Structure 1
Amino acid sequence: LAGRFHQASPWLFDVAHNADGAATVVENLLAVGMPRPMTAVVCVLRDKDWRGIIRAVARAAERIVVTIAPTSPPNRLWDLLEVEQWAVAEGLPIERIDDFGQALAHARSEAATVLVTGSFHTVGDAMERLQVHPLAR
């Protein structure tokens, strides 16, 4: 299924847009033994359980970059300042990069595996920007 545990090394794309989906992705990542270190690029729509998604992703990623996917509907954008403040208070390894392209480049700069997750918008925008065909394996 396009956008579900889709590997295009070093990238791994999964549209997990709820905490259970994110937990499943993390379980699979850990079971498969993806190369380390791992960074996650996460953008979640504000009406989703973004806290649960970030907590799940933090089980596998040494770094989590939070950003805004370009096609995210303006009325459903999450508040990156709120996300950043919450994650810092939780002791999670968050980096906030508002620009999506910069977030992807930064995540790749120090990672052997980059998980892109949080919504269909996040995965679709990343695949388009990185020129990864959603049906290619």
Structure 2
Amino acid sequence: TARGDLSLTYYEFGTLAALELFHQASVDVAVLEVGLGGRLDAVNVVDADAALVTSIDLDHTDWLGADRDSISYEKAGIFRPNCPAICADADPPPRLIEYARRIGARLLRVGQEYDFSCTGATWRWRSDELELDDLPLPTLTGKQQLGNAAAALMTLTSLWRELPVLPTAIHFGLLNADLPGRFQIIPGRIEWILDVAHNPRAAAVLAQNLQIRSCPGRTLAIIGLLADKDARGVIAALTQSIDTWHAVTLEGARGRNSADLMILLQEIGASVAMATNIQDACQAALAAACPGDRIVVLGSFHTVGPALAIQPWLSNFSLLSSGGT
């Protein structure tokens, strides 16, 4: 085979296992998320009936290329001839457009073949073939979620002949979608916000959402990043939004040491403390916070996931962390 003696990766084994389970369950619809890029990703063994590229930014540059144009080509690799190819990035690079046209994919771009607008308490969506008015705003928090919902609608309606969806189902989805770790808000005397933002663009969106959701007190951040991420770019995007930082070391070969993050934060004059694990970082941030403050956990699924597991917002977290009963 082309792989020679190379074994399957953990992710490839997981993808194959998922596809086998989908087959055994005879699912009507399978939604597959690309892990890295698209063209060479494990899920691209499937010829999708529709493909969606949500955004294009600098990430995984060692594998995908150093500029948006190169990365867009890798992402466009999930497109298929004569199938809908939705692009929710308002500024798609030329190589994505060229690739879609070369293979004969049906390119559907935001601002071109489909668009949306907010009308106050509701919003409007339209494509070349359909208009939907008075849609409920997504319950998912964050300004970007309206664009995500519009892209999902374009994907759904592009398959309407094969997969008819009732308007009531669209309304239900918008009102009930749940996405842990994506500007997930846990209210309380000290508010917690969990966001896996791990590249500069996602960090800029997080900063925008933090600005929109004002806070009477300070904003404390717990940040942990993988070593291959643009830590300097992520920090720069959030500099004006964070008052104090808690840098945490992520476990595993790909984890970045908190000392590296501390150096980058000190370069910009930020107030920063270090922690060797998520629990210690949550404990330190909670001890430093006052009612009316908020704590933002960000930077990776490897940061947010452990925070969700230990639930530091619970009233007994401090007691549990100190080993009490």
Paired residue type of 1:52: G
Q: How does 1:49-88 map to 2 (within 5 A)?
A: 49-69=230-250, 72=251, 74-88=252-266
Larger CA Rg, structure 1 vs 2: 2
Larger relative contact order (CA 8 Å, sep ≥ 6): 1
The corresponding residue for 1:7 is 185
Matched, 1:113 2:294: yes
The corresponding residue for 1:102 is 280
Structure 1 residue 113 displacement after superposition: 0.3
Give the structure-2-normalised TM-score.
0.38
Structure 1 residue 123 displacement after superposition: 0.7
Q: What is the rounded CA distance, in whole Å, between the counterparts of 1:50 and 1:130 in structure 2?
A: 25
For residue 75 of structure 1, give the secondary structure of its aligned residue in structure 2.
coil
Instruction: Output the aligned Cα RMSD.
Output: 1.7
| Correspondence for 1:128 among 309, 312, 316 | 309
CA contact (8 A) 1:14 1:117 kept: yes
Q: Of Structure 1 and Structure 2, which has the larger fraction of its residues in helix?
A: 1
Shift of the 27–53 alpha-carbon distance from structure 1 to 2, 3 Å rule, reads: same
Query: Which stretches of structure 1, 4 residues or longer, exceed 4 Å deviation after superposition?
Result: none
- 1:46-94 Cα distance to aligned partner (Å, 9 max, x none): 101111112222221110100024xx4x110113222222321221222
Give the structure-1-normalised TM-score.
0.85
CA contact (8 A) 2:224 2:258 kept: no
User: Where do 5+ consecutive residues of structure 1 fail to align?
Assistant: 133-137
Report sequence identity in percent.
29
Q: What is the rounded CA distance, in whole Å, between the counterparts of 2:254 and 2:216 in structure 1?
A: 33
The corresponding residue for 2:211 is 30
User: Where do 5+ consecutive residues of structure 2 fail to align?
Assistant: 1-178, 314-325
